[in-house]
């Protein structure tokens, strides 16, 4: 401060205070009584106790928070050692199971009549190529491929515009919406290592079999399957072992068993049929009613699952239904137009 020469430092400050005007010290400190020279033993014991329990409470609250965070963390990402699944994964899986169970019903209702109830297709005498085949499931029937086939129809498989496989997705005029297409794909690609519950298509309740147990099914795809390195890869265009496109109109071998069924005055005759297992067979069907909406002969399992869906004869006439081989057991043959007692019979396959 060389601009004010000759003054003492305190005189250079802007406001000079008279030395008597000191700040009252008492304002800034507690009264004398708050600073006892010593504490009584009880008082100091109390202070120690109080601060100890306050620290305990703090410690416990911290523990609770830490525990909660840890439990929630494991709930979210899954407990160690695989004790629980990550929450999102578990939810994903539950949704996947639902999708597969729905897909099963869609398959039974829409696809089984050509690809067979087990997806064995032409390997078991059905008119469409097999889907349940490990080599095909391994690298041919991928989700994206299935989606394309179901969206475009059988034309997508080998480029045949007259392919017997219809278009399924409703984006191209088919009957199934995108969710149903997804469910079907989930079912076709479901792993064979897991069991799923058969559910009623409308009620969604588990179907109870004749033995009182819930009926189940397994996926087709073996997740452990590795193709033989020497095996020829599945070709892009595969319509069964014969190669090329097969029309889905099977013809009966000359020695096939053919049974006769007559529908007259809204009743089947006979109401009992017996055929051999494992061989293609036929029904000579005589339709003698007019003005009743027509008749057909469908084959169903006892739980109502449609196994064979034959075309309806609207007017009186005769046709021969070509029937794929069936496994031994008893089935129901029924007119889908008149599912009444008189148009329901028992088919025994031996």
- Determine the interface stretch with Cu ion among 69-77, 103-111, 222-230, 341-349 (rule: CB under 5 A): 341-349
| Cα separations in angstroms, 5 against 9, 11, 15, 346 | 10, 11, 18, 129
Which residues inside 249-308 make contact with Cu ion, applying CB under 5 A?
Answer: 295
User: What CA–CA distance (Å, rounded) separates 147 from 142?
Assistant: 9
| From candidates 176, 273, 307, 337, binder to Cu ion by CB under 5 A | 337
Nearer to ligand HEC, 104 or 168 (CB): 168
In sequence order, what E strands does the chain have? 195-197, 216-218, 257-264, 267-269, 272-275, 281-287, 298-300, 306-308, 317-323, 329-334, 344-349
Which residues inside 120-149 make contact with ligand HEC, applying CB under 6 A?
Answer: 128-129, 131, 136, 141, 146, 149
| Cα separations in angstroms, 7 against 10, 13, 17 | 8, 10, 16
Give per-residue burial for 84-123: e unless 16+ CB within 10 Å, then b: eeeeeeeeeeeeeeebbbbbbbbbbebbbbbbbbbbbbbe
Nearer to ligand HEC, 168 or 268 (CB): 168
For position 248 contacting ligand HEC by CB under 6 A, the verdict is yes
295 touches, from ligand HEC, Cu ion, none (C-beta below 5 to 8 Å by class)? Cu ion
245 touches, from Cu ion, ligand HEC, none (C-beta below 5 to 8 Å by class)? ligand HEC
**Dihedral sign, CA of 116, 120, 123, 124?**
negative
Question: Considering the complex, what minimum distance in angstroms separates the CB of residue 117 from ligand HEC?
Answer: 12
Total residues at the site for ligand HEC (CB under 6 A)?
Answer: 26
| From candidates 338, 345, 347, 349, binder to Cu ion by CB under 5 A | 338
> Which of 231, 154, 138 is CA-nearest to residue 188?
138
Nearer to Cu ion, 253 or 270 (CB): 270
For position 281 contacting ligand HEC by CB under 6 A, the verdict is no
Question: Considering the complex, what minimum distance in angstroms separates the CB of residue 301 from Cu ion?
Answer: 20
In sequence order, what E strands does 208-339 have? 216-218, 257-264, 267-269, 272-275, 281-287, 298-300, 306-308, 317-323, 329-334
| From candidates 116, 117, 154, 324, binder to ligand HEC by CB under 6 A | 154
102 touches, from Cu ion, ligand HEC, none (C-beta below 5 to 8 Å by class)? none
Residues that bind ligand HEC (CB under 6 A): 110-111, 113-115, 128-129, 131, 136, 141, 146, 149-150, 154, 157-158, 160, 163-165, 168, 184, 238-239, 245, 248
């Amino acid at each position: 401060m060389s601009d004010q020469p000759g003054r003492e430092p305190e005189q250079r400050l802007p406001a000079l205070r008279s030395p008597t005007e000191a700040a009252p010290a008492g304002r800034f400190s507690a009264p004398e009584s708050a600073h006892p020279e010593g504490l009584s033993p009880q008082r100091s014991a109390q202070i120690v106790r109080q601060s100890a329990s306050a620290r305990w409470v703090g410690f416990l609250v911290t523990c609770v928070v830490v525990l909660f965070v840890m439990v929630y963390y494991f709930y979210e990402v899954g407990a160690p050692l695989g004790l629980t699944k990550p929450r999102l994964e578990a939810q994903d899986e539950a949704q996947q199971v639902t999708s597969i169970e729905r897909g099963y019903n869609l398959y039974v209702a829409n696809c089984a009549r050509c690809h067979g109830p087990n997806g064995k297709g032409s390997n078991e005498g059905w008119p469409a190529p097999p889907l349940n085949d490990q080599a095909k499931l391994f690298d041919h029937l991928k989700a994206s491929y299935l989606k394309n086939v179901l969206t475009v129809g059988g034309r997508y498989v080998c480029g045949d515009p007259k392919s017997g496989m219809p278009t399924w997705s409703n984006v191209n005029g088919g009957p199934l919406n995108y969710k149903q297409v997804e469910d079907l794909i989930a079912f076709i690609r479901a792993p064979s290592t897991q069991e799923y519950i058969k559910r009623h298509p409308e009620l969604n309740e588990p179907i109870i079999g004749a033995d009182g147990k819930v009926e189940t099914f397994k996926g087709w795809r073996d997740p452990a399957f590795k193709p033989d390195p020497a095996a020829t890869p599945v070709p892009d265009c595969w319509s069964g072992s014969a190669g090329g496109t097969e029309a889905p109109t099977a013809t009966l071998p000359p020695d096939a068993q053919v049974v006769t069924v007559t529908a007259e005055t809204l009743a089947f005759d006979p109401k009992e049929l017996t055929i051999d297992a494992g061989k293609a067979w036929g029904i000579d069907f005589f339709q003698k009613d007019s003005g009743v909406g027509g008749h057909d002969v469908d084959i169903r399992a006892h739980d109502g699952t449609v196994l064979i869906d034959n075309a309806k004869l609207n007017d009186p006439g005769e046709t021969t239904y070509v029937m794929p081989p069936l496994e031994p057991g008893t089935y129901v043959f029924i007119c889908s137009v008149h599912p009444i007692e008189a148009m329901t019979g028992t088919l025994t396959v031996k």
